[in-house]
């Protein structure tokens, strides 16, 4: 299959291009498109055969459910069997945007989408291209991140093509994304609601609006969580992983820097190529084969935006070991640490007073 690349203006999506892409979706094809979080791989959520092709293209395990994307808030009532009162304030405040809500599913949602679960995850993206495409398709769009299963999520059309070229009908190249990590997933079927995946809408913001909010242990991602029946099955798979081995060093920044340099020296001494994922404040201190700046320690949102691209770059540069600085796991820092710790397979070194 030849994957068509369509360049679309993210500020003013050209309507004839959006119509062409929507037509592919309506015919049961797969279209990757930019959202404000990462690039998604879309299919008509009401067409079970189209949804099954997503699993095939990504090599996605069949028991990992997919988020359904909508263009109008009202569409939630078609897909959810029941919308609790608490959802309305969340929808008013955070939609369109990077918050996914979990509801009991309606009959309209095919089993393949929810991997047999009786809940459905729904989000309304704010990105102009995503919004135009879903509206033009006229159907809800099932869309996981547009990467091969287990690889870092794509933050550019180039990343999508690297993983999925020849496996999907079309990629819309809409340039940069805004956040760089996937949406926050909030389960509204529990009391209190539970964050299953931390993301750009922070736990702190959710608590401010709705009061008590639980954070699932897998979302904190301090250690792998064994779950016989995972609440969100995606949580149990190795994720975001670079080909290189990866170690996260966490603790007070002075100790972190010293320990990282020790690690780098030791492993280079064994003939390995070692990369450091550093921050603006610390990068100049490291001597390694490659040092990359993820962003500023004072602004975890800047780190989120570069994270997945850097993981892919280390691989492209033939790095054997990536050592990364930890951030404080609050606000967007929690979303960053959740991705980093998973990418490292929970290979975490704690230094300093409680290390």
- Judged by the rule CB under 6 A, the positions of this chain that interact with ligand AMP are 64-67, 102, 114, 117, 119-121, 144-145, 182, 185, 196-197, 232-235
Q: Shortest approach of ligand AMP to residue 147 CB, angstroms? A: 8
Of 32 and 263, the one with the shorter C-beta distance to ligand AMP is 32
How many Å apart are CA 313 and CA 293, to the nearest integer?
12
Which residues make Cβ contacts (< 8 Å) with residue 152, sequence separation at least 6? 159, 240, 241, 242, 307, 308, 311, 312, 343
Q: Shortest approach of ligand AMP to residue 193 CB, angstroms? A: 13
How many Å apart are CA 327 and CA 336, to the nearest integer?
8
Find the residue with minimal CB distance to ligand AMP.
234
Q: Please, which of residues 130-169 interact with Mg ion by CB under 5 A? A: 145
DSSP codes joined into one string, 48-92: HHHHHHHHHHHT--TTS---EE-SSGGGHHHHBS---HHHHHHHH
Q: Shortest approach of ligand AMP to residue 48 CB, angstroms? A: 15
How many Å apart are CA 183 and CA 40, to the nearest integer?
11
User: If contact means CB under 5 to 8 A according to the sort of partner, which of Mg ion, ligand AMP, none does residue 44 touch?
Assistant: none
Of 145 and 232, the one with the shorter C-beta distance to Mg ion is 145
Q: Shortest approach of Mg ion to residue 222 CB, angstroms? A: 21
How many Å apart are CA 339 and CA 75, to the nearest integer?
30
How many Å apart are CA 112 and CA 46, to the nearest integer?
10
Of 55 and 286, the one with the shorter C-beta distance to ligand AMP is 55
User: If contact means CB under 5 to 8 A according to the sort of partner, which of Mg ion, ligand AMP, none does residue 64 touch?
Assistant: ligand AMP
Residues that bind Mg ion (CB under 5 A): 145
């Amino acid at each position: 299959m030849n994957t068509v690349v369509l360049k679309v203006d993210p500020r003013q999506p050209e309507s004839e291009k959006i119509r062409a892409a929507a037509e592919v979706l309506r015919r049961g094809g797969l279209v990757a498109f930019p959202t404000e979080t990462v690039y998604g791989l879309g299919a008509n959520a009401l067409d079970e055969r189209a949804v099954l092709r997503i699993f095939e293209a990504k090599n996605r395990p069949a028991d990992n459910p997919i988020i359904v994307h909508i263009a109008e808030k009202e569409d939630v009532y078609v897909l959810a069997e029941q919308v609790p009162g608490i959802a309305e304030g969340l929808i008013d405040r955070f939609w369109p945007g990077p918050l996914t809500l979990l509801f009991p599913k309606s009959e309209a949602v095919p089993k393949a989408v929810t991997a047999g679960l009786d809940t459905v995850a729904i989000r309304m993206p704010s990105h102009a291209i995503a919004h135009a495409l879903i509206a033009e398709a006229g159907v809800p769009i099932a869309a996981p991140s547009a990467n091969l299963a287990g690889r870092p999520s794509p933050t550019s059309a180039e990343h999508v093509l690297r993983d999925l070229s020849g496996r999907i009908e079309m990629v819309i190249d809409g340039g940069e994304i805004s956040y760089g990590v996937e949406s926050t997933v909030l389960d509204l079927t529990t009391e209190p609601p539970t964050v299953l995946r931390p993301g750009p809408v922070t736990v702190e913001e959710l608590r401010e609006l709705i009061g008590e909010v639980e954070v699932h242990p897998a979302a904190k991602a301090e250690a792998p969580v064994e779950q016989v029946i995972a609440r969100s099955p995606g949580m149990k798979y190795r994720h975001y992983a670079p080909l290189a081995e990866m170690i996260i060093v966490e603790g007070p920044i002075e100790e972190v820097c010293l320990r990282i340099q020790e690690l780098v020296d030791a492993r280079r001494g064994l003939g390995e190529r070692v990369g450091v994922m550093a921050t603006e404040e610390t990068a100049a201190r490291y001597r390694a084969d490659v040092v990359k700046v993820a962003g500023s320690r004072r602004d975890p949102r800047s780190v989120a935006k570069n994270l997945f691209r850097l993981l892919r770059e280390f691989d492209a540069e033939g790095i054997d070991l990536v050592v990364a600085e930890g951030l404080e796991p609050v606000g967007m820092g929690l979303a960053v640490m959740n991705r980093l710790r998973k990418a490292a397979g929970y290979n975490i070194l704690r230094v300093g007073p409680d290390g």
